[in-house]
Amino acid sequence: MLQPHLLVVADTTLGGTEGPDLTRYLMVCGGLLLLVGLLGFAFRKLVTRTLCARAAQRQMQVMDVLPLGGKHKLCVVRCYDRTFLIGVGEKELSQIAELDAVIAPARETPPGKVELHAFSKVLERLRGSSATPTAPSASATHLSQEGLLG
């Protein structure tokens, strides 16, 4: 059978630890808080990216905004193939006019070799015709000062 003095010795060798280990508890809580924070950050990035992709596919776009002072502004809004001028106030929205049927964003492409070559030929021809010395009249002087475009 068990001897009573061995039970006392076994009880004193444990060191009398009571309750859970506080260091381990704090490490687990900190790790869980960090994990929840990282998951929230990743979810926010995912949702933001998804909303931006959906917004790019929409058929309604604000083309331009002109602030008029305070909380009043004019907005040009394109919805499918129609364009509207809208007045925006503090608590109101009103359609001012419907603009042209389609106002596409201006996308300028650089001129190709064919356009540059044609332009240089026209320029040479104009320079060649102005190389002959003649007495310019008053209307010719007026045209040459304005230029070809204006």
For 10-30, the pLDDT digits (tens) are 455 555 567 778 888 899 999
In the structure encoding, which two tokens stand for residue 8, read together? 């006392």
Q: Is 148 within the bounds of a domain?
A: no
84: β partners: 77, 98
Query: How many separate helices (H) and strands (E) can be counted in the chain?
Result: 4, 4
Q: Is 6 within the bounds of a domain?
A: no
**pLDDT in the model for residue 4:** 57
The domain tally of the chain equals 2
Q: Is 36 within the bounds of a domain?
A: yes
Q: Are residues 65 and 47 in the same domain?
A: no
Write out pLDDT tens, residues 32-60. Answer: 999 999 999 999 999 888 888 777 777 78
Its domain, for residue 76, covers: 60-98
Q: Is 45 within the bounds of a domain?
A: yes
- The four Cα atoms 100, 102, 104, 110 give a dihedral, to 10 degrees, of -90
**pLDDT in the model for residue 22:** 86
**pLDDT in the model for residue 150:** 44
Residue-level length of the chain: 150
Q: Is 26 within the bounds of a domain?
A: yes
Q: Is 145 within the bounds of a domain?
A: no
Q: Is 135 within the bounds of a domain?
A: no
Write out pLDDT tens, residues 58-117. Answer: 778 888 999 988 889 999 988 877 888 999 988 888 888 888 754 555 556 777 777 777
79: β partners: 60, 82
**pLDDT in the model for residue 30:** 95
Q: Is 110 within the bounds of a domain?
A: no
